């Protein structure tokens, strides 16, 4: 299974949420996520600290306190839905330890946005199947246009 590592190139606010642009240095893809998730990702990447843990910080702490460590985030499918943007699918792989230090590997289906919010907190790479990546349209020109329209203050 060949994969491509992606980085977050930009988070762009939209009327109904946030667009996240992920790329490999040669091309980018983009999909829409909920505003709160976009804010959670952006705040963490910007080094924002809060008096109390936010939801994804709490989830990370909870899972780590239970002996779970995120090992991999994999965007494993993309399904086109009509003329609109399609839907991305992902899975997270967690390694867990119990009280006698036995290890268990668990793979969990998830929304890519939730997994990204957890992965950035644990510095886990964002991976996509090469076969999925090759079939996606390059959204680099769209991000360039948005940066020109909105200014260069976009994350990324």
Rounded to the nearest 10°, the torsion over CA 99, 54, 85, 80 is: 10
Q: pLDDT tens for residues 90-149?
A: 999 999 887 777 888 999 999 999 999 999 999 999 999 999 999 999 999 988 888 888
Gap between the Cα atoms of 20 and 105, Å rounded: 29
CATH code of the domain in which 50 resides: 3.10.690.10
Average pLDDT value over all residues in the chain: 90
The count of structural domains within the chain is: 1
Identify whether 155 is part of a domain. Answer: no
Q: pLDDT tens for residues 19-36?
A: 999 999 999 999 999 999
pTM: 0.88
Identify whether 156 is part of a domain. Answer: no
Q: Quick one: pLDDT at residue 83?
A: 61
């Amino acid at each position: 299974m060949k994969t491509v590592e992606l980085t977050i190139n930009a988070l762009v606010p939209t009327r109904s949420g946030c667009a996240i642009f992920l790329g490999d240095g040669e091309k980018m893809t983009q999909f829409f996520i909920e505003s709160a998730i976009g804010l959670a990702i952006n705040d963490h990447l910007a080094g924002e600290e809060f008096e109390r843990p936010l939801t994804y910080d709490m989830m990370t702490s909870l899972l780590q306190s239970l002996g779970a460590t995120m090992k991999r985030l994999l965007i494993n499918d993309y399904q086109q839905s009509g003329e609109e943007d399609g839907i991305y699918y992902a899975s997270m792989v967690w390694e867990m330890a119990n009280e006698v230090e036995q290890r268990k590997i668990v793979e969990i289906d998830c929304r890519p946005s939730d997994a990204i919010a957890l992965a950035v907190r644990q510095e886990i790479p964002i991976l996509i199947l090469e076969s999925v990546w090759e079939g996606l349209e390059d959204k680099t020109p769209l991000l360039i246009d948005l940066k020109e329209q909105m200014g260069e203050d976009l994350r990324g």
